[in-house]
Chains A and B, each alone.
Chain A
Amino acid sequence: MKKIEAIIQPFKLEEVKEALKAIGIDGMTVTEVRGHGRQKGHKEIYRGQEYTVDLLPKVKVEMVVPESRSEEVVKALSAAARTGKIGDGKIFIYDVAEAIRIRNDDRGEAAL
C-alpha cells in the first residue's frame, strides 16, 4: 500500500476530486494548509507598513491506495492539479505498513 500526499493549489481541489473519482478513488482526506516551496510570496501594505506574505494557502490531499494503482493515481492527480506555473505544488509517496478499518477490523487492502 502507498500513501499519496499531494499539496496543491486550493482552486484545483474540485478538478482533482473529479479526476480521482473518474478512476474509482473515492476515499481521501483534505486539509487546508499554508506553505511555500520555490514560489515567492507577495507584499501587502497597510498605511505604509509593509508585510511580506510568504506562507500561501494550499490544500493537502491524502489517500492510501493499493501499490498497483499508485502510478495511475499520481498521473491523474498531477494532470488535474497542473497549471504549468510555479506554485502548482508537490506529490509525495510513502510506504504504508498496515491499514485497519475501525468499524470491523478489516486489514490490509481490504480496509482501503
Chain B
Amino acid sequence: MSKLLPFVAALAGSCAAQTAAPDKLAALEAAVASAQSSGDNAWMLTSAALVLLMTGPGLALFYGGLVRKKNVLGTMMQSFVLMALVTVIWGVFGYSLAFGEGSPLVGDMRYLMLNGVGMAPNTDYAATIPHQTFMVFQLMFAIITPALITGAFAERMKFSGLLLFMTLWVILVYFPMAHMVWGKGGLLNAFLGGSIPCFDFAGGTVVHITSGVSALVCALYLGKRKGYGSEPMKPHNLVLSFIGACLLWIGWFGFNAGSALGSSGLAASAFVATHFGAAAAALGWLAAEWMHNGKPSVLGGISGSVAGLVAITPASGFVKPMPALLIGLLAGLVCYFMVAVLKQKLGYDDSLDAFGVHGAGGTLGAILTGVFATNEINNALKDSAGKPLPLGLVDGNGGQIINQIIGSAIAWVLAIVGTLIILKICDLVTGLRVDSEQETLGLDLTMHGEEAYNLEA
C-alpha cells in the first residue's frame, strides 16, 4: 500500500494537469498579449509625447529664432495656441472626422466627444494598444500640421484671424486628408480598403504637402511683409532656431517610428531610415550652399536636416537605410534650390519657407516612396496565398509611382482649394493681416502686450 501511494498521487496529478491545460494555455496567451501591449503602449505614449515636443518647443523655437525680435513671442504663440485649440477640436469631433469609418473622403460622427474611445484597442488601427493611445498619438500630428503653416505668414498675421483660419483649416483640409490616407475605408488608404492605395507612412501627403501647399497659398494671399526686399529681415536669434531644429530631429523619431503603432522591428527600421534621411539632407544642403554661396551656414545645416526629415516621413516605414540616405540627399539639394534660388526669383514672401521645405520636400518624399518602398521592410500587404505583395518600383511595382502622384495631387488640390475658401471667409469675418502700424511695432506688443527681451528689467 505504501508503495502504491505515490503512483496514485502521480496519476491524480497528471489527470489534473490534462484538464487544466486549456486554462493554462489561455492564461499564457493572455500574459503574452498583455506583455506585448505594455511594450507597445509604452513606446506609443512616448512617441505621442515626442511628437508634441516637435511643436512646443521644437517648431516654436525654430520659427521663433528666424523672425525679428519684435515678433518672437507672437510667432511662438502661433504654435503654442494650436496645442490647445486643436486638442479641444480633436476631442469634440475632430478624431471622429479623421478616423470614424464614414465615407472614402471623411469620417463619420461615431466617435463624437470621444464616445467609444476607451482603453480597449481599436483592432482596425492598432490591435495592441489602447484606443486612447492611438487617438492621442494621432492628435499630436493634427497639432503640428497647422503649426507648420504659420511660417508662411510670420510677422504679419492677426491673432484672431489665425484662430479662425486654423479652426476651419483642420476641419476642411486636415481631417479629410487624414481620413483619406489613414482612416478606415479612406480613398487612399493602402491597408484598410482604399481604392487608390497610396503609401504614406507618417504623413508626407497628410502633414507636409497639405501644410506646405497651404502655406504657399497663404503667403501669396496675404502678400509680402512690409519692407520685404528693402529692409533687413535677418533671423534675430539663430541659437533658438538651432535648438528648435535639433528638438525637431529628436521628436521626429516619435513621429516616424511611432507610426509603426507598436514597439516592433518596423519601428526600428523607420527610426533608422528617419535618422539617415536627416543626416544626408543636412550634408546635401550644406554642400549646395557651400558651392553656391561660398560658406556652409548653420541655418543651412539645420534647414537641410528638417528637409530630410520631411522627405523621409512618407517613406520611413517602407524603405531600407541606403535608399533613405538617397532620399535625404535629394531633399537637401531640392529644398535648397527651392528656398535659396527659386523663391528669390519668384519673389513671394513665404517668410520661413514652409512651402520650400514642407511642400517641396513632402512631394518629393511622397513620390520617391513609390520608387523605394519594399516588402522586405513592410510586408503588411499580402495576396490571398499569404505572400507579401510588391510595393514600389524596386519590388517591380512601378505603377505605385502613379498612385503616389495621384495621392500627392489630391493633397495639393485639397490644400489649394480649401485654403483659398478659408482665407476668403477669414478675410470677411476677422480679417487676416495686422494693420501697417501694428506690423511696424511687431506682433509681441500689438497682439499680446508683451516684449520678449526685457533686458533692462
Contact flags A42-74 to B (C-beta < 8 A → 1, else 0): 001111110100000000000000000000000
Q: Is the CB of A45 within 8 A of B343?
A: no
A interface, over-half SS: strand
Can you list 12 A-B contacts with CB-CB less than 8 angstroms, sorted by A residue number?
A45-B293, A46-B234, A46-B297, A46-B299, A47-B299, A47-B339, A47-B340, A47-B353, A48-B339, A48-B343, A48-B344, A51-B232
The count of residues in chain A whose C-beta lies closer than 8 Å to any C-beta of chain B is 7
- Shortest Cβ gap from B72 to chain A (Å): 16
Chain B contacts for A48, CB-based, 8 A:
293, 339-341, 343-344
Q: Is the CB of A51 within 8 A of B234?
A: yes
Assign chain B's interface to a size class: 10 to 19
Query: Which of the residues B232, B295, B300 comes within 8 Å of A47, measured between beta carbons?
Result: B300
- Tell me the bound Cα distance from A60 to B293 in angstroms: 34
Interface of chain B residues 324 through 374 with chain A (CB within 8 A): 339-341, 343-344, 353
Q: A45-B293, A47-B339, A48-B343 are in contact. List 14 more A-B contacts (CB 8 A).
A: A44-B234, A45-B297, A46-B235, A47-B299, A47-B300, A47-B303, A47-B353, A48-B293, A48-B340, A48-B344, A49-B233, A49-B344, A51-B232, A51-B234
Q: Which residues of B contact A (CB under 8 A)?
A: 232-235, 293, 295, 297, 299-300, 303, 339-341, 343-344, 353
- Tell me the bound Cα distance from A48 to B343 in angstroms: 9
- Shortest Cβ gap from B339 to chain A (Å): 5
- Tell me the bound Cα distance from A46 to B293 in angstroms: 10
- Shortest Cβ gap from B243 to chain A (Å): 17
- Tell me the bound Cα distance from A45 to B235 in angstroms: 11
Interface of chain A residues 3 through 51 with chain B (CB within 8 A): 44-49, 51
Chain B contacts for A46, CB-based, 8 A:
234-235, 297, 299
Chain A contacts for B233, CB-based, 8 A:
49
Q: CB-nearest residue of chain A relative to B353?
A: A47
- Shortest Cβ gap from A56 to chain B (Å): 14
Chain B contacts for A51, CB-based, 8 A:
232, 234
- Shortest Cβ gap from B111 to chain A (Å): 42
Chain A contacts for B340, CB-based, 8 A:
47-48
Chain A contacts for B234, CB-based, 8 A:
44, 46, 51
Given A51-B232, A51-B234, A45-B295 contact (CB < 8 Å): yes
Chain B contacts for A49, CB-based, 8 A:
233, 344
